[in-house]
Amino acid sequence: MRPFFHPRAAYDREHAWLAAECTARGARWLDLELLVPAGLWGETNNFAPDVFHFRVEGHRLLGEAVAAALAEGGG
């Protein structure tokens, strides 16, 4: 699978801003960026990462992480 291209520095700035904004507003920040390994992302028909869909196991990991956060009072 080819890597997904995005302007990493800009992405990292936005990610940090969102985390800080959540904290400042009293909202819980749940950082799931690295939860699903690259091998569990879907692929487009030209073998690029599908940035909208995971494979079944990736969806399971995401669902379990969100459910655990909600069970801990993170909702």
2 has a pLDDT exceeding 70: no
pLDDT value, residue 7: 82
pTM: 0.74
Under 8 Å between Cβ of 65 and 17: no
Under 8 Å between Cβ of 14 and 61: no
Q: Which two tokens stand for residue 49?
A: 């990462």
Reported as a single tens digit per residue, the pLDDT across 12-51 is 999 999 999 999 999 999 999 889 998 898 888 887 778 7
Q: Which two tokens stand for residue 4?
A: 């997904």
Residue carrying structure tokens 């690259």: 38
**Nearest CA to 16 among 29, 34, 1, 3?**
29
CB within 8 Å of 34: residues ≥ 6 apart: none
